[in-house]
């Protein structure tokens, strides 16, 4: 997938870049039977209270129903299209099973229109196939990994995402996630073979504020620029640096503070914590 640059006719064009979708996508019309309208909430919950700041507006989206479970076993499906999805940064593929049913799946890198994919415990471990971790060879790259069997994929679902199966022992499998975290998952949990598509997404430069507004993201106001009544870091005589460690409006640490609950049962299955990133690189 290539990054496309434009002639610098404006300051926004000069700094911006986009993905060249024509090189990989095969259609721009989604399957209507797998689409539904989603209502915008502007970061507000059912009480109307803002729970996520600086959200609102943006282009209207139609949600594509994605099959994260991949539970139609022992039946081949043919890849019909590779499409853009406005609700995620990786591409999606429309597949049709032998009985005529159509489903959307996350598109792996390298999959082509006309290829066949399959799900089940005894399928071949090739790109696009989904199977339990117990049947996947050690060292294979995977994505869309379940944390609870039958729940559907929860881990590694973004563009270019890839995890690796490192070991299997007893009822547990050890995987390394893109963040560098090493954790244990039950062997009966399913995963899909291969790396997710659109890996160049991280190299796209937005270029101008208007593109962020199209995404539904409003301008972010610094806490220390606010009044004391609005933020813990606000106020002060003249320009101040907050006077405390960075935090959210509710006082939750924003940089480096531990916020994960010690009672979270998933913590017990983490062998190695995720690594810090510096300039896009993992820091050991």
Give the pLDDT of the chain (284 residues) as one tens digit per residue. Answer: 589 999 999 998 998 999 999 888 999 999 999 999 999 999 999 999 999 999 999 999 999 999 999 999 999 999 999 999 999 999 999 999 999 999 999 999 999 999 999 999 989 999 999 999 999 999 999 999 999 999 999 999 999 999 999 999 999 999 999 999 999 999 999 999 999 999 999 999 999 999 999 999 999 999 999 999 999 999 999 999 888 999 999 999 998 888 888 887 778 899 998 876 555 555 54
What residues form DSSP beta bridges with 4? 18
Nearest C-alpha neighbor of 195 from the set 235, 144, 160: 160
In a domain, 140, yes or no: yes
In a domain, 221, yes or no: no
Which whole-number Å values give the CA distances from 92 to 87, 150, 216, in the listed order? 10, 21, 21
In a domain, 168, yes or no: yes
CATH number of the domain residue 196 falls in = 2.40.50.140
In a domain, 80, yes or no: yes
Nearest C-alpha neighbor of 198 from the set 159, 155, 158, 156: 159
DSSP annotation of 14 reads H
Per-residue pLDDT at 243? 87
DSSP annotation of 50 reads B
The structure tokens 């790396």 sit at 195
As a whole number of angstroms, the distance between CA 23 and CA 203 comes to: 17
DSSP annotation of 196 reads B
Per-residue pLDDT at 273? 87
Per-residue pLDDT at 284? 46
Tokens at 120, concatenated: 């089940």
User: Is the C-alpha dihedral spanning 166, 171, 177, 179 positive or negative?
Assistant: negative
In a domain, 72, yes or no: yes
In a domain, 250, yes or no: no
Domain that holds residue 135: 3-202+260-283
Tell how far CA 8 is from the center of its chain: 31
Structural domains counted in the chain: 1
As a whole number of angstroms, the distance between CA 250 and CA 230 comes to: 10
The structure tokens 């009672």 sit at 263
Contact 103, 143 (CB under 8 A): no
Judged on CB neighbours under 10 Å (0-12, 13-18, 19+), 148 is exposed
In a domain, 226, yes or no: no
State pTM to two decimals: 0.89
Per-residue pLDDT at 37? 93
In a domain, 215, yes or no: no
Which whole-number Å values give the CA distances from 276 to 154, 181, 255, 260, 273, in the listed order? 22, 10, 12, 16, 9
């Amino acid at each position: 997938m290539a990054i496309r640059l434009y002639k610098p006719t404006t300051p926004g064009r000069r700094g911006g870049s986009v993905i060249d979708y024509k090189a990989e996508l095969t259609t721009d019309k989604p399957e209507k039977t797998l689409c539904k309208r989603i209502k915008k909430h502007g970061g507000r919950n059912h009480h109307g209270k803002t729970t996520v700041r600086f959200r609102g507006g943006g282009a209207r989206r139609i949600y594509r129903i994605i099959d994260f479970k991949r539970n139609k076993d022992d039946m081949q499906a043919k890849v019909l299209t590779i499409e853009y999805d406005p609700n995620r940064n990786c591409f999606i593929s429309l597949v049709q099973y032998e009985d005529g049913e159509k489903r959307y799946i996350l598109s792996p890198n390298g999959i082509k229109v006309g290829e066949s994919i399959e799900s089940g415990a005894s399928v071949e471990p090739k790109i696009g196939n989904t199977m339990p971790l117990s049947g996947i060879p050690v060292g294979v790259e995977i994505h869309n990994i379940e944390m609870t069997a039958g729940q559907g994929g929860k881990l590694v679902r973004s563009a270019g995402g890839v995890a690796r199966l490192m070991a299997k022992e007893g009822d547990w499998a050890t995987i390394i996630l893109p963040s560098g975290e090493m954790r244990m998952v039950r062997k009966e949990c399913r995963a899909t073979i291969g790396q997710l598509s659109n890996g160049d997404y991280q190299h796209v430069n937005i270029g101008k504020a208007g593109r962020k507004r199209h995404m539904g993201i409003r301008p972010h106001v610094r806490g220390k620029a606010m009044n004391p009544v609005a933020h813990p870091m606000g106020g002060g005589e003249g320009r101040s640096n907050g006077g405390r460690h960075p935090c959210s409006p509710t006082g939750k640490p924003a940089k480096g503070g531990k916020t994960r609950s010690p009672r979270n049962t998933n913590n017990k299955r983490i062998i190695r914590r995720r690594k810090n990133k510096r300039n896009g690189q993992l820091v050991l």
